[in-house]
Structure 1
Amino acid sequence: MRLRVAGVIVLLYAQPVSRIVRLSIDDVIRDGETVLLRLGEPASPVPDPVAALLLEHIANRDNMNTATNSASHWPFPGRRAGQPALPDHLSALLNEVGVPTAAARGAAIGQQLLELPTPVVADALGYHDKTTSRLRNETGGTWSRYAPGDHGKSLPGSAAPTTLDS
């Protein structure tokens, strides 16, 4: 279960394993029927089948039966008291089950950048905007002229939008 959840986070959200192990259970947000994962702002929605897997994993985490880990806030608790799993160990386990973490993460972020503007990807996944811009250029993305922000507001000094009825 632990490897499935970690692998899905790598594949869907292009997260490095070093960041995955540092997530806390507070980064998994339940809002009614919706489950969100706080990787950046705003938190990213988790698709239904993955949400069920993530919630089941948190409810049945490994290494929770010891006195020192019984109240652990890590989704991937380590063997040492109060510490998350070691990223190198989790990455090696993922590689063993067929999820090459570096290649999978690169492919996932590349796909995100082909489908969405770089500022949106950077904010949602917690990447720096310069990193996503560089990666977008490497993947041949077409969102180079996207301007983030609220495009519904009028600029100061400009006339309010009119309709055919006004």
Structure 2
Amino acid sequence: MHCGVLPHRDRHLLLFERWLADWLDVIEDPGQSQLLQRFATWQLLRKLRATAAKRPLGPGAVKTARAGLTPAAVFLTWSDARGRALSECTQADLDAWFAEDAISRRITTGFLRWCMDHHVMPRLKIPVIRTENPAPISQHGRITLIRRVLTSDDLPQAERVAAALVLLYAQPIRRLVRLTVHDVLADGPQAFLRLGDPPTPVPGPFAGLLQDYVRTGRPNRPGGTMPTSDWLFPGRRAGQPMDPATLGRRLSAAGIPTLHGRTAALRQLVLQAPPSVVAGMLGYHTVHAEALAAEAGSTWKKYAPGDHTR
């Protein structure tokens, strides 16, 4: 037993818990405060704690949790102003709530479903809110961007490496900032990236850029302000990686469409190899990769193993 050693607590989880206590204190209606505390404890905090037990939370997870709470408080105030208790809410009330601003109010869906599941309000139909997302970039556009980040010197090296990880390996920003220099593996002339299991081979043009960045290109290289940090994308705070929002803004400013570039990369990869193999190597869930493969028109499920030369 190690006396005097405190158990690890996730920094972002602690910040959310402190924010939650302060936020609930300013809600004047005791009934609303109690209900929101129940929702935060049994829905939001439960999920955050489960995630923190598996991996460090990012600021995005806490931001999403806050975003699920504040509109819920607005809905309760709005309902009270109509003279309607939550237990008496009708379909007409719910339709009116979404009719005023459907896009911004769709974030209250999680709170409303929780209230219905826990019999706080009647079982009603939540309006379906459709939003059209731009299509993933074309394969030609993806290849053009890959060529640019691998050969052009007009971008900082960190942006070039991050963009290549998005466009080649379909990695989300939140996962990029958790990579360390130890996830870049070298086996003679061949380099590998530990994104999943097994490690993923790194093609020649990118291998040189990546290894050079690890040796000399990071902002905390030897002689810098944080020479001991192992993060592939170190942040300004000692011992912490770069904030995902910061890296996302830098890539956006560099003209890299991270979301649609990542989707395009994953779609292309599941067309070139079995989705389960791609999912394992890139750290994706197999179900997600299979669904995307079906959407992209993959035929791997219909492929029969064996000798096809006869």
TM class by shorter chain equals 0.7 to 0.9
In structure 1, distance between residues paired with 2:205 and 2:295: 32
Gaps (5+ residues) in structure 2? 1-156
Give the partner amino acid of 1:113.
Answer: V
How far apart are residue 96 of structure 1 and its match?
1.0
1:88 to 2:257 alignment: no
Q: Retained in 2: the 8 A contact 1:63–1:78?
A: no
My pick for the range that moved more, 80-89 or 138-147, is 138-147
Q: What SS class does the counterpart of residue 277 from structure 2 fall into? A: helix
Match of 1:134 in 2: 291
The structure that has the greater radius of gyration is 2
* TM-score, scaled relative to structure 2: 0.46
| C-alpha distance in 2 between matches for 1:94 and 1:78 | 15
Q: Which residue of 2 aligns with 1:74?
A: 231
Structure 1 stretches of 4+ moved >4 Å:
none
- Number of paired residues? 147
Contact persistence 1:94–1:101 (CA under 8 A): yes
Kept after mapping to 2: 8 A contact 1:117/1:146: no
**Cα distance in structure 2, aligned partners of 1:80 and 1:106:** 31
SS of alignment partner, residue 144 of structure 1: helix
Structure with the bigger RCO (C-alpha within 8 Å, sep 6+) is 1
How far did 1:105 drift?
0.2
Q: What is the percentage of aligned positions where both structures have the same residue?
A: 48
Could you state the TM-score of these two structures normalised by the residue count of structure 1? Answer: 0.84
Q: Which residue of 2 aligns with 1:53?
A: 209
Secondary structure of 1:36's partner?
strand
Aligned equivalent of 2:276: 119
Q: Deviations over 1:96-122 (max 9, x none)?
A: 111110010000000001111111111
**Counterpart for residue 141 of structure 2:** none
Structure with higher helix content: 2
Matched, 1:17 2:17: no
Contact 2:220-2:229 at 8 Å conserved across structures? no
Change (3 A) 1:127 1:140: same
Q: RMSD over aligned Cα, in angstroms?
A: 1.5
Residue identity in the other structure for 1:36: F
2:300 to 143, 153, 166: 143
Partner residue of 2:182 out of 26, 33, 36: 26
